[in-house]
Chains A and B, each alone.
Chain A
């Protein structure tokens, strides 16, 4: 969670806590007011960690649709962008598809990674051969400064090593804690080795976009749902975790079809919920 979000949570929670502080003012209704104040804090926390659920529920219940540009509509379900051209409807949906997270979760860069790299072109071609409708695989990426990243990793490794030696020298060392710390050190070591081998660290966001067509909004959205289900099945071959994007992030991905924000940190902040 970034500093700005922490500030927002702290300030808004203070309002709800202030209500609890003056709860006596509400006499016989104090219990009901207290419940509402606690619900407000809960709503703020849920909105922080999964705002797409609350936002989508809000637009769905009140039947609100969004017009992001001329001829485009994001319907109340908030998971599709519809374009109307001369009575034909083009429905576009988005799926998250982060491959690199999977690679970085490896404890060490071993032979299996080489095998994965060699298998990737085959897997990709198999996917393309099995899909008979339009789709785009997008990677928004930016290279990071190697030295800063390396210093960060080495700092973290030093911290874990210190924690491990402290645990080992304690009177009653826990083997589980030691194993966990050792695993974290191995992950960091593998990443440092990759940097030494010439790889540049990157920050990336990957997503799949697909478009279906129909003679009505419903027909286009039904066709899109079928396509998305097929993509989810087919992309399993790449060990990708796939989630359909809805809510605020759908609008951002729609905009990213035309322009990108020049700061990767800012892009990552915008996508914290469904990464």
Chain B
């Protein structure tokens, strides 16, 4: 990429230089000379912008409907073992592994010395690797889809039973009261669970390796991930492990941070509030 960038830069600069040089000897009107020099200066600015925006240069030339498409592929591919993610860039493959850091300490349970020591341990953690790593603390909303769906199913089932009993003239009044109570219980539970969000924190380290092919990149990334896991585990005194499968989605995909059930529940609550108002 750097070679192409330098080449394109010099080509544009030489064209701009040549244009200005030739203008001097052309017997054309001043207005046309002015337009040509403006084009040369614009090319000059474009040439400099390549220093930062080379990745946009060719996609910008192919732009359609004011949309510059850098990639139309998924953000990553999952490694066959499910312990790494991969991205192909040119002739190289980048693979990343994620080391989970299960830290269950709270400042409320620490003395001042322990707090200071914990901060120092964290300072040591940031210098665990000579090649770049990314240490992340992720605060997210826990996915309670299954839990909420179970409550919803129970509520629907109780409501159906209640409806059937109301239509049944021989229904036992005591049993009817009990089922009505059950409907109220599930409904209240759905309201209270839906209203409050369950949140959680996960800490992890992301490690990337480059390879000529997918297998090489993944092997190197897993190897580096395990090295970092051992180092981080020794510093913090915890048992570390590589994230796999769905855990990787939680650490990389934005929709996993706010699960669908939560959004659904928020919309339901808002609709109810509006209805009540």
Enumerate chain A interface residues (CB-CB to B < 8 A). 4-5, 8-9, 11-12, 15-16, 18-19, 22, 25-29, 32-33, 36-37, 40, 43-44, 47-48, 51, 55, 62-70, 72-73, 83, 85, 88, 90, 92, 114, 117-122, 124-125, 128, 131-145, 199-202, 204, 211-213, 215, 248, 251, 256-264, 267
Contacts and interface: CB of A to CB of B under 8 A. Distances in A.
Contact of B70 (A68, A88, A257): A68
Nearest to B89: A259
Given A142-B129, A211-B258, A29 B30 contact: yes
B137 A68 contact: no
Contacts of A264: 131-132
Contact of A136 (B21, B30, B136): B136
A70 B44 contact: no
A212 B127 CA distance: 32
A120 B115 contact: yes
B186 interface: no
Contacts of A44: 44-45, 48
Contacts of A8: 9, 47-48, 50-51
B20 interface: yes
Given A29-B34, A141-B126, A264-B132, A136 B137 contact: yes
B13 A136 contact: no
Nearest to A36: B41
A260 B207 CA distance: 7
Given A48-B51, A51-B49, A121-B107, 13 more contacts: A12-B45, A18-B20, A68-B70, A70-B73, A114-B116, A118-B115, A125-B106, A135-B139, A138-B136, A139-B126, A199-B127, A213-B258, A251-B70
A262 B30 contact: no
Given A141-B132, A142-B129, A143-B128, A33 B37 contact: yes
A64 to B, nearest CB: 5
A261 B132 contact: yes
A264 B252 CA distance: 22
Contact of B94 (A16, A65, A259): A259
B72 interface: yes
B37 A36 contact: yes
23 contacts: A12-B44, A22-B23, A25-B24, A26-B30, A29-B34, A36-B38, A40-B45, A63-B66, A67-B67, A69-B72, A72-B75, A90-B255, A121-B115, A122-B107, A136-B137, A137-B137, A139-B135, A143-B127, A200-B127, A201-B127, A202-B127, A259-B208, A264-B131
A25 B33 contact: yes
A145 B127 CA distance: 11
Nearest to A23: B37
Given A25-B24, A118-B112, A69 B74 contact: yes
B24 to A, nearest CB: 5
Of residues B40, B63, B126, B263, which shows the largest number of chain A Cβ atoms within 10 Å of its Cβ?
Answer: B126
B96 interface: yes
Contacts of A26: 30, 33-34, 37
Nearest to A66: B68
Interface in B54-97: 55-56, 63, 66-76, 85, 87, 94, 96
A257 B9 CA distance: 30
Which interface class (under 10, 10 to 19, 20 to 34, 35 or more) fits B? Answer: 35 or more
B69 A67 contact: yes
Interface stretch (B117-125, B156-164, B169-177, B236-244): B117-125
Contacts of B257: 90, 134, 211
Interface of B: 9, 13, 16-17, 20-21, 23-24, 30-31, 33-34, 37-38, 40-41, 44-45, 47-53, 55-56, 63, 66-76, 85, 87, 94, 96, 106-108, 110, 112-113, 115-116, 118-120, 123-124, 126-141, 197, 199, 201, 206-210, 252, 254-255, 257-258, 260, 263, 267
Given A8-B48, A12-B47, A211-B258, A262 B75 contact: no
Contacts of A117: 115-116, 119-120
Contacts of A51: 49, 52-53
B96 A259 contact: yes
Contacts of B55: 251
A22 B132 contact: no
A68 B9 CA distance: 24
B120 to A, nearest CB: 7
Nearest to A30: B30
A134 B141 contact: yes
Contacts of B132: 140-142, 260-264, 267
Nearest to A213: B258
Contacts of A137: 136-137
B254 A92 contact: yes
Contact of B87 (A48, A141, A259): A259
Contact of B68 (A4, A64, A248, A258): A64
A128 B140 contact: no
